[in-house]
Amino acid sequence: MFSTASKSGANQTPSPGPFGRFYLQELINSGGMAEIWLATDERQKPYALRRMHEGYRFNFLARRRFMRGAEILAKIGDHDHIVGYVEHGKISGRPYLLMDYVEASNLKELYAQHDPVLLENVAQILIDMAEGLEHMHDNGFMHLDFKPENVLVTRNAAVRLVDFDLALPIPEKPRKASKKNPGTPAYMAPEQLLGEPISPRVDIFSYGVSAYELLTNQKPFPGDTPGEILAKQLDRSDFVMPRQLNPDMPASLQKVILRCLEREPDRRYPFVGMMVRELQAALYV
């Protein structure tokens, strides 16, 4: 499937049926403001169709965010590690995004299940998701919600980044993001949580949190609230080095993760491409 089969959206579970020129075959995922369907067209070609929940019809902020994410995916361009864009628009006033259909689960599910696909391919997955992020930055956009739930992995370990609703163009110099552009606190950089100006290096921090969690099954800065998470990021007196939790991790890989997790943005990698090169060297890939 395209993503997790959770059906915890705000609406009642919708039924399969026609949607414009598409037929919605199976509900794959239902999240905060949208649902994802396995859909087919008149030629029976399968797609992943993301459709905004009916209950958000008059939520103009959500509609704008949904359409912006679709437009950004269209502009990013094709890449092996970004979900493939087909089209977007509205059908009967309801925003939708049509994407390539891939049989995959998200990264959070895989490591929660200790899935063999992850265990056998972790080095390549780490590099591939960094390369997807590099492609996005090279094409002028920050993801701003990079986390394991937004990384899909197929049964043959192919990686696809998804969900660009919070993405923004890379500014010429760091600038404050809208307070209505929240992200996910556990993966946010300190400057995001503090409401300070941000740059693409916030995605590098989020990558570091995701990689740490993937390799240790723990978050580097645990907390139940944004304030608790921020306090851990700023203090670090009880920070646990990843190799203490996973002694099999190469020291060179730990060094990459620690640089991603630097408190000060200027101490992180200046570009994702540099991080990718050091990951490749650390993992012998």
Catalytic residue annotation: 145
- Length of the chain as a residue count: 285
Question: Cα separation of 72 and 177, whole Å?
Answer: 17
Question: Cα separation of 104 and 102, whole Å?
Answer: 6
Question: Cα separation of 140 and 147, whole Å?
Answer: 19
Terminal C-alpha separation, the chain: 28
